[in-house]
């Protein structure tokens, strides 16, 4: 997710300890590299590398850094692998400016080429450096610093927050577009951060700038101006009263609930990133031309691959084989070759089962690509290239936002394979927010009603089949109840005998499959089951199911994706009602690096 922190003091002082402490408070966002820069009397001191905060701080003696202004940054790689040169902050060509960002600049690749052509010294692949050169470009053209920053804002596309300072100055400047940023005002200093936790121990007096505003920070005051016309905007400071723990969880009681509510934002960022990624088209070509196309993962990532395979078939008319990684080794690896393509899907990029399958595929010469959240993980290094999921750190063990972004990535790839306009997918974030709003109270009351049951089913068909599998996995994982996910049409082939009065059965109803789902509903209803239907508003579903949990209208593929949100909420509420901690379910760990 990356995090930035900046500090402006009234005098030169030991800033190292302040920057290290602030970086430590940002670590919960996830990171692979750390850097710090101080500025004073015409000099910039920059120290950075990959690794943990304490290790990088010790290696480069960051504690001894002094200055009147300082910046620290924690990097979560998306553009460019984790490395010293890609770590942030970054310098401009001459070393006069230093800046850092969090988020993604999606036209990074094009802008870098322009800056190189304009004669600037571009040292890394990182988009944080691109932000610095974007300002440098206008300085080179003779603009004042504040105007250069305003013009740079217009050139940088994506979702990010950015801070920059000059060696010979007494201020820092910052702006944001789509990402969070908070300004702190203390006694004899001002500061800024990607979010509140790194500011709170210093001051509870904050200003929250909006997109399209430039903030100038002096030690004793802060000025907010509009990017558009440079006019000053009056923003009064507010006093924050929440505890540090509540702030880290964004005011939510658990990370899982916070991450469920982050899904719209990370989906928006992902779609922007895919629009700007040079890796997408070559991958799409490989997928289209493959003899056989395999989508390989475990657990939740396998479910995303399964939804993806339905999208690819429905939209692009191509068969894609979703397969659990260990089964890939047993069933397909002996038969694959260089004409085949495999996409290995993993949140962590470290799941041993997935890496074993990758090794088996590579031995046979198969073309191997990845989808992973943790850039710099083994999977991202071992595949030809790996698309980032762009979710930031997922702390809660149950995967939520990484699942939906895996599914969005497959939907995006299926659109591109089919030659469809991906603009239509920009509706997804808003539809996700609407879904959460629409279903929240009803899901909580259903959770209460069925919480006494320790056995249930979750059924789907087509694209909602794997959504049902995912809902069942979430329910098992954090409620410790048995919940089986199944193709709805299979239920009559055996499990029907388990139905008794009140037995909960959840149906994920795809908008094109309503008649089929209704047959399933009636089959179990006449035997006493309590039927909970997740689908779009439909008089037939309302007349047949006991509860209809309505999700917004969209097309069949997006609708399937939206259907997982009520299931995530249901499992969350049931887990909390049972007195469990959904973030850290017993016996499980976030990353499974064992066979
Ligand atoms: O990191 P990965 O996506 O490779 O992990 C695979 C599974 O262990 C993981 O998806 C697991 O099923 C989830 N924690 C379930 O919520």
Specify whether the CB–CB gap between 20 and 26 falls below 8 A: no
User: With bands split at pLDDT 50, 70 and 90, how would you rate the model's confidence at 1?
Assistant: low
Lowest mean pLDDT among 47-61, 75-89, 113-127, 528-542: 75-89
Find the distance separating the first CA and the last CA of the chain, reported in whole Å.
Answer: 29
Number of domains in the chain: 3
Spatial distance between the Cα atoms of 135 and 152, rounded to a whole number of angstroms: 5
| Ligand 1, atom nearest to 354 Cα | 4
Atom 8 (ligand 1): residue with closest C-alpha? 299
**Residue 21 falls inside a structural domain:** no
Q: From 403, 420, 437, give the residue that closes a domain.
A: 420
**Residue 37 falls inside a structural domain:** no
Q: How many helices (H) and strands (E) does the chain have?
A: 20, 25
Spatial distance between the Cα atoms of 376 and 2, rounded to a whole number of angstroms: 14
What DSSP line would sit under 203-241, residue for residue?
-SEEE-PPTTEEEEE-SS-EEEEETTT--EE----EE--
Cα(366) to ligand 1 centroid in Å equals 24
Spatial distance between the Cα atoms of 177 and 161, rounded to a whole number of angstroms: 6
Write the DSSP symbol of residue 28. Answer: G
My answer on whether 240 and 327 are in the same domain is: no
Identify the burial level of 6 via C-beta atoms within 10 angstroms of its C-beta, where 0-12 means exposed, 13-18 middle and 19 or more buried.
Answer: buried
Q: Which residues pair with 172 in a beta bridge?
A: 165, 217
My answer on whether 435 and 543 are in the same domain is: yes
Collect all residues with Cβ–Cβ distance below 8 Å to 93 and sequence separation of at least 6.
119, 120, 121, 133, 136
My answer on whether 244 and 258 are in the same domain is: no
**Residue 568 falls inside a structural domain:** yes
- In this prediction, residue 77 carries a pLDDT of 82
My answer on whether 473 and 526 are in the same domain is: yes
Question: What lines the ligand 1 site, CB under 6 Å?
Answer: 298-301, 346-348, 351, 354, 397-399, 473, 477, 591-592
Spatial distance between the Cα atoms of 431 and 558, rounded to a whole number of angstroms: 9
Residue-wise pLDDT tens digits, 431-477: 999 999 999 999 999 999 999 999 999 999 999 999 999 999 999 99
The two three-digit tokens of residue 360, written as one number? 């088996």
Cα(293) to ligand 1 centroid in Å equals 22
My answer on whether 292 and 170 are in the same domain is: no
How many residues are listed for the chain in this entry?
Answer: 595
**Residue 131 falls inside a structural domain:** yes
Q: Which CATH number characterizes residue 477's domain?
A: 3.40.50.10490
Q: What is the mean pLDDT of residues 208-215?
A: 94
| Ligand 1, atom nearest to 303 Cα | 10
Based on its alpha-carbon atoms, the radius of gyration of the chain, rounded to whole angstroms, reads 25
My answer on whether 365 and 466 are in the same domain is: no
Residue-wise pLDDT tens digits, 129-187: 999 999 999 999 999 999 999 999 999 998 899 999 999 999 999 999 988 899 999 99
Specify whether the CB–CB gap between 571 and 479 falls below 8 A: yes
Catalytic residue numbers, as ranges: 2, 590
Give percent above pLDDT 70 in the chain: 100
| Ligand 1, atom nearest to 399 Cα | 16
The two three-digit tokens of residue 257, written as one number? 């609930």
**Residue 2 falls inside a structural domain:** no
My answer on whether 193 and 321 are in the same domain is: no
Q: Which CATH number characterizes residue 111's domain?
A: 3.60.20.10
Atom 16 (ligand 1): residue with closest C-alpha? 398
Write the DSSP symbol of residue 21. Answer: H
Residue listed under structure tokens 């078939």? 313
Cα(458) to ligand 1 centroid in Å equals 19
**Residue 258 falls inside a structural domain:** yes
- In this prediction, residue 307 carries a pLDDT of 98
Cα-flanking dihedrals φ and ψ of residue 474, to 5°?
A: -60, -45
CA distance readout (Å), 31 to 49, 334, 398 = 12, 38, 20
- In this prediction, residue 358 carries a pLDDT of 97
| Ligand 1, atom nearest to 299 Cα | 12
pLDDT at 2 over 90: no
Cα-flanking dihedrals φ and ψ of residue 458, to 5°?
A: -135, 120
- Range of 256's domain? 252-420
Best mutation site among 300, 305, 402, 592 for ligand 1 pocket (most ligand atoms within 8 Å of CB): 300
Identify the burial level of 293 via C-beta atoms within 10 angstroms of its C-beta, where 0-12 means exposed, 13-18 middle and 19 or more buried.
Answer: buried
Write the DSSP symbol of residue 333. Answer: G
**Residue 226 falls inside a structural domain:** yes
Q: Which residues pair with 205 in a beta bridge?
A: 239
**Residue 20 falls inside a structural domain:** no
Spatial distance between the Cα atoms of 293 and 88, rounded to a whole number of angstroms: 38
- With both helix axes pointing from N to C terminus, report the angle between 127-140 and 108-117 in degrees, rounded to the nearest 10: 40
My answer on whether 349 and 498 are in the same domain is: no
My answer on whether 580 and 432 are in the same domain is: yes
pLDDT at 241 over 90: no
Q: From 399, 420, 441, give the residue that closes a domain.
A: 420
Specify whether the CB–CB gap between 65 and 40 falls below 8 A: no
pLDDT at 314 over 70: yes
My answer on whether 210 and 273 are in the same domain is: no
Q: From 215, 230, 248, give the residue that closes a domain.
A: 248
Cα(592) to ligand 1 centroid in Å equals 8
My answer on whether 236 and 266 are in the same domain is: no
Best mutation site among 295, 297, 298, 355 for ligand 1 pocket (most ligand atoms within 8 Å of CB): 298
pTM score:
0.81
My answer on whether 341 and 431 are in the same domain is: no
Spatial distance between the Cα atoms of 47 and 30, rounded to a whole number of angstroms: 20
Specify whether the CB–CB gap between 540 and 518 falls below 8 A: yes
Residue-wise pLDDT tens digits, 330-359: 999 999 999 999 999 999 999 999 999 999
Hey, which bits of 300-354 come out as E strands? Answer: 321-324, 341-346
Other CB atoms within 10 A of residue 339 CB: 12
């Amino acid at each position: 997710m990356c995090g930035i922190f900046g500090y402006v003091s009234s005098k030169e002082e030991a800033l190292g300890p302040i920057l290290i402490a602030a970086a430590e408070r940002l670590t919960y966002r996830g990171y692979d590299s750390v850097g710090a820069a101080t500025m004073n009397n015409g000099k910039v001191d920059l120290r950075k590398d990959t690794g943990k905060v304490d290790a990088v701080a010790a290696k480069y003696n960051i504690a001894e850094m002094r200055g009147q202004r300082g910046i620290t940054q924690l990097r979560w790689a998306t553009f460019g692998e984790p490395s010293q040169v890609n770590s942030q902050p970054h310098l401009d060509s001459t070393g006069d400016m230093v800046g850092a960002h969090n988020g993604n600049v999606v036209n990074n690749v094009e802008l870098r080429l322009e800056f190189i052509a304009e004669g600037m010294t571009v040292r890394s692949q990182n988009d944080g450096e691109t932000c610095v050169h974007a300002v440098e470009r206008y300085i080179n053209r003779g603009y004042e610093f504040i105007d250069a920053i305003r013009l740079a804002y217009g050139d940088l596309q994506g979702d990010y927050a950015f801070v920059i300072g000059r060696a010979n100055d007494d201020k820092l400047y910052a702006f944001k577009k789509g990402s969070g940023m908070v300004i702190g005002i203390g006694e004899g200093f001002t500061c800024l951060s990607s979010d509140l936790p790194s500011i709170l121990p210093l001051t509870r007096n904050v200003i929250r700038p909006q997109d399209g505003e430039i903030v100038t920070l002096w030690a004793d005051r802060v000025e907010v101006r509009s990017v558009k016309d440079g006019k000053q905007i009056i923003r009064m400071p507010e006093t924050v009263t929440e505890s540090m723990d509540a702030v880290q969880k964004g005011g939510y009681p658990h990370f899982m609930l916070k991450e469920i509510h982050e899904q719209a934002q990370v989906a928006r960022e992902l779609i922007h990133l895919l629009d700007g990624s040079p890796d997408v088209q070559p991958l799409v070509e490989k997928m289209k031309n493959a003899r056989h196309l395999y989508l390989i993962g475990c657990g939740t990532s396998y479910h995303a691959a399964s939804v993806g395979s339905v999208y690819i078939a429905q939209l692009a008319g191509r068969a894609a084989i979703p397969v659990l990684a260990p089964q890939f080794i047993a069933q397909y690896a002996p038969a694959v070759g260089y004409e085949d393509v495999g996409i290995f899907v993993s949140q962590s990029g470290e799941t041993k089962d997935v890496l074993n399958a990758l090794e088996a595929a590579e031995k046979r010469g198969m073309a191997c690509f990845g989808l992973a959240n943790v850039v710099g993980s083994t999977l991202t290094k071992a595949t030809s290239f790996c698309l980032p999921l762009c979710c930031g750190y997922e702390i809660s063990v149950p995967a939520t936002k990484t699942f939906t972004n895996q599914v969005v990535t497959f939907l995006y790839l299926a659109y591109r394979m089919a030659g469809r306009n991906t603009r239509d997918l920009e509706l997804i974030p808003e539809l996700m927010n609407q879904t959460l709003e629409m279903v929240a109270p009803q899901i909580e009351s259903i959770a209460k009603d069925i919480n006494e049951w320790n056995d249930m089913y979750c059924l789907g068909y087509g694209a909602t089949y794997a959504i049902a599998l995912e809902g069942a996995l979430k329910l098992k994982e954090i409620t410790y109840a048995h919940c089986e996910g199944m193709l709805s049409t299979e239920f009559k082939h055996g499990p029907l005998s388990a139905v008794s009065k009140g037995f909960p059965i959840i149906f994920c109803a795809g908008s094109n499959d309503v008649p089929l789902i209704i047959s399933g509903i009636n089959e179990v209803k006449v035997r006493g089951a309590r039927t909970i239907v997740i689908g779009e508003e439909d008089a037939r579903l309302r007349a047949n199911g006991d509860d209809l949990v309505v999700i917004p209208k969209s097309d069949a593929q997006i609708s399937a994706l939206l259907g997982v949100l009520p299931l995530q909420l249901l499992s969350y509420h049931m887990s909390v009602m049972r007195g469990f901690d959904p973030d850290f379910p017993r016996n499980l760990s976030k990353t499974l690096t064992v066979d």
